[in-house]
Structure 1
Amino acid sequence: MKNKLETKLAAQPLNFESFFSEKALEMKASEIRELLKLVETSDVISLAGGLPAPETFPVDIIKEIAQDVLTNHADKALQYGTTKGFTPLRLALARWMEKRYGIPMSKVEIMIVAGSQQALDLIGRVFINPGDIVVVEGPTYLAALQAFNYYEPEFISIPMDHDGMRVDLLEEKLEELEKQGKRIKFVYTVSTFQNPMGVTMSVDRRKKLIELAKEYDFLIVEDNPYSELRYSGEPVPPIKHFDDEGRVIYLGTFSKILAPGFRLGWVAAHPHFIRKMEIAKQSIDLCANTLAQVIAWKYVEDGHLDRHIPEIIEFYKPRRDAMLQALEEYMPEGVEWTRPDGGMFIWVTLPEGIDTKLMMEKAVAKGVAYVPGEAFFAYRDIKNTMRLNFTYVPEDKIREGVRRLAEVIAEEMKKLK
């Protein structure tokens, strides 16, 4: 005979959803991550993910450094570290940024994080109250929207062109908000080879953004994972280079210039901001991966990073060129795309009336995948765009993938007539 508990369980299965917090119930999976699951085991040519090519990983050097670290520095590398990060790595990065970007060591403090994605979450924790106004680019980095959205800000999306965020439109919005007695908390920008568009904010706009931050009293979060991947054109100083007040919080990462599996990034900001972010990080993971930090320290300190970056550029440039050439050759008239000097992405705009999210199923059936553009807009109000990645697959597959995609687009365009 069944007891009362058994009878109750048989009659009423566990309601898993009832245990989640309200915030957990609102969480949505990354559309890009879910998309990659669909195409990773098939013969689909994926132009979707933002993955570095494994061929660029400096495996032999990492092996040598890891052996040296475990032989001579195991006491530090295998131990808990400080929340702020392994001090020799922090100092090495500060010197590297001073030399590379002209950002004085005396003006910033550096904290190591578990990839710059953790930095975005920390920024949300430390700076965003529910209802605070956060300005983002339109389009912007999808995972930044996800990280900030958890803390319930009000987003304002500023359109982009080939020179980055339309700072003139931002100024108009700031004037409008000031009349309403409102101000923004910060502007988030991927300033160089932006994800997803691939465009770079001009120097004049960078300087103007700093001026506006002073005039209207807001911060700037500069996410800069791609700037070292330059294949043409002249380098542009980070916005942080022009910051003389400590208003810019700079995010860097090893994911594109060493290996994403290290899960190491860094924040360079005024010590007052770093201290509060350090306290917030203490409750999350205590410290970033110490072994990876010590290996990364040796990698930077011994000059391997400076030698490796040109090798990555040499590897990726033909892939970017192959995609641009294929777009020129195969895309039907009426399709537009960006022509980035670096980074990992090209942004494609189709005629109005085509929904790239709805078109995705047809593209996968043709054997090619991309990321629909609506996911990169704070209010998902633009439907006719897509992001293409050129770093992960070789040139022949890039050409074939673009050819297949162009066929799908051409078919959709016929329906508009």
Structure 2
Amino acid sequence: MKFATRLNNIETSAIRELFKLLGKPGIISFAGGFPDSAMFDVDGIREATNTALTVDPGAALQYGATEGYQPLREQLSSFMAAKGANDVAPEQLIVTTGSQQALDLLGKTMISPGDKVIVEGPTFLATIQCFRLYGAELISAPVDAHGVNTDTLEQLIAEHKPKLVYLIPTFGNPSGALLSLERRKRVLELAVKYQTLVVEDDPYGDLFFGEAPPPSMLALSAQVPGSRDWLAHCGSLSKVLSPGLRVGWMIAPPELLARATMCKQFSDAHTSTFAQATAAQYLKAGRMPATLAHVRQVYAERAQAMGSALRQHLGEAIDFVQPQGGLFFWARLTGAKGKIADGAEFAKRAIEQGVAFVPGVPFYAANPDRSTLRLSFATADVARIEEGVARLAKAL
């Protein structure tokens, strides 16, 4: 068969390939970016499902509007308002099949072959694959513990004149970085100055462990005149409620939203109305605050345990910043005292010791740091985290 040439520049996800190795009995996985299924509010979701099928079963089980199920759009508008974005009307967002579809719709509507797109280095692997599928030339902007370096970002925008800039400002995947308030405002100013679309991907913003993070760029856009015209915000319930519902959303300027809706019509007609009706009833029931409080507490404990174990067992052989939220540690092998300094080789050795993680190279669009790796603490309890990190030490 002669396949589309757009497939020439992409590969199967390195993470998905790694999962094939995880069937080994007794293996401890720090590889996936999944929430812990043991913390799903099954009773609350069951109650929401039953309510959806009682209140308006016809709407829950029928075809729906491409833009989304109106009661859910209204609940999401309120959900965003509670987080400081209090001027998002239901008509200003569309419901997507996970935030992943929102990124795909942005690729379809914005990227032509050869267009330049700036992403963080490192960034979400699926975004790299998605944008390359549409022919983007990806430019990597460096990230530190406080998020993307905005001085360098401005230089890259001025030089490359990108179609869009894609950022995960709050507890990024894989970096775990938290973009500072000052830098968030600066990014919005750059969007206006250079009239460049900025995409704010925010699947982890509700998963903070102590003090709440700075407001989203969407919430801050009211303070930077004109910035809302150059901002798209992607949200998701996958990490805080259930990935299986596949409910995400996108807030964007009207012209972009209209074209994204048109492309979604061709793609899946609409996100599952049954899933949307369930999510709407769940949000309406007011259970989300308690759910978030619970998962924040559990993930905070696991993150603390992983940080302590890494310091104890790997010591100066590894360098990392303790995450303040999200699901991930982003770490660098230092090579101290002759220990291994290559993330991919370390991953192979770790599998032999019965523990898995993702080496860092696939998360870079360009100039990868081969000493990096991503560790997820979300799905292992404290005891397994401590045992897994002890195994990692044996693989050094």
TM range (shorter): over 0.9
Corresponding residue for residue 29 of structure 2: 46
CA distance in 2, matches of 1:36, 1:394: 19
Q: Which has the larger Rg?
A: 1
Tell me the residue number matched to 2:212.
Answer: 234
**Which amino acid in structure 1 is aligned with residue 315 of structure 2?**
P
Distance 1:309 1:147 in 2: 30
State the 1:233 CA deviation: 2.7
Letter in 1 for 2:380: V
Greater than 4 Å deviation, 4+ residue runs: none
Provide the secondary structure at the position in 1 that maps to 2:167: strand
Aligned to 1:141: 124
* Separation of aligned partners in 2, 1:284 and 1:174: 31
Q: Is the 8 A contact 1:165 1:201 kept in 2?
A: yes
Q: CA RMSD in A?
A: 1.6
1:27 CA drift (Å)? 4.0
Q: Distance in 1 between matches of 2:352 and 2:277?
A: 45
Q: Does the 8 Å CA contact 1:108/1:268 hold for their aligned counterparts?
A: no
SS of equivalent residue, structure 2 residue 119: strand
Report the Cα offset of residue 266 of structure 1: 0.5
Residue 71 of structure 1 deviates from its aligned partner by 2.4
Per the alignment, residue 413 of structure 1 pairs with none
Give 2:322's aligned residue.
Answer: 339
Which consecutive residues of structure 2, in runs of 5 or more, have no partner in the other structure?
none
TM-score (norm 2): 0.94
Change (3 A) 1:107 1:213: farther
2:57 maps to what in 1? 74
Output one character per residue of 1:248-290: Cα deviation in whole Å (capped at 9) or x when no partner: 1001001011100111101012222111100010000000011
C-alpha distance after superposition, 1:277-318 (max 9, x if no partner):
000100000000110100100111121112211111122211
- Aligned residue for 1:38, secondary structure, equals coil
Against the structure 1 CA distance between its residues 185 and 25, is the aligned structure 2 distance closer, same or farther, given a 3 Å change threshold? closer
Q: Is the 8 A contact 2:203 2:239 kept in 1?
A: yes
Given that 1:122 and 1:280 are in contact with CA atoms closer than 8 Å, whether structure 2 keeps it comes out as yes
Which residue identity does 1:298 align to in structure 2?
Q
Contact 1:108-1:271 within 8 A present in 2 as well: no
| Matching residue within 148, 165, 168 for 1:165 | 148
**Corresponding letter in the other structure for 1:357:** A
Q: Is the 8 A contact 1:332 1:406 kept in 2?
A: no
Matching residue of 2:350:
363
Matched, 1:95 2:70: no
Counterpart of 1:392?
379
SS of the aligned residue for 1:134 comes to strand
Residue 222 of structure 1 aligns to a residue in which SS? Answer: strand
* Alpha-carbon distance, 1:400 to partner: 1.1
Q: For 1:336, what is the secondary structure of its paired residue? A: strand
Partner of 1:415: none
User: Separation in 2 of the partners of 1:85 and 1:226?
Assistant: 22
Contact 1:107/1:270, CA 8 A, preserved across alignment:
no
| Equivalent residue, structure 2, for 1:117 | 100
Q: Higher mean Cα deviation, 262-271 or 366-375?
A: 262-271
Q: Percent identity?
A: 37
Q: Deviations over 1:382-416 (max 9, x none)?
A: 2110000001011111111111112222xxxxxxx
Instruction: Give the whole-Å Cα distance in 1 for the aligned partners of 2:21 and 2:87.
Output: 46
Matched, 1:216 2:201: no
Are the equivalent residues in 1 in contact too, given 2:7–2:133 (CA < 8 A)? no
Paired letter, 2:366: Y
> Cα offset for 1:106?
4.7
Unaligned runs of 5+ in 1: 1-17, 410-417
Match of 1:318 among 288, 301, 307: 301
In the TM superposition, what whole-angstrom CA distance separates every residue of 1:358-392 from its partner, at most 9, and x where no partner exists? 33221100111110000000025321100000010
Give the conservation status (yes or no) of the 8 Å contact 1:108–1:269: no
Letter in 1 for 2:205: S
2:157 corresponds to 1:174: yes
Q: Is the deviation greater in 192-201 or in 399-408?
A: 399-408
- CA displacement 1:37-86 (0-9 Å, x = unmatched): 21145321100101111111111111122122222321001000110100
Q: Secondary structure at the match of 1:101?
A: coil
**Alpha-carbon separation, structure 2, partners of 1:37 and 1:67:** 36
| Cα contact 2:361–2:368 (8 A) shared by 1 | yes
How many residues matched?
Answer: 387
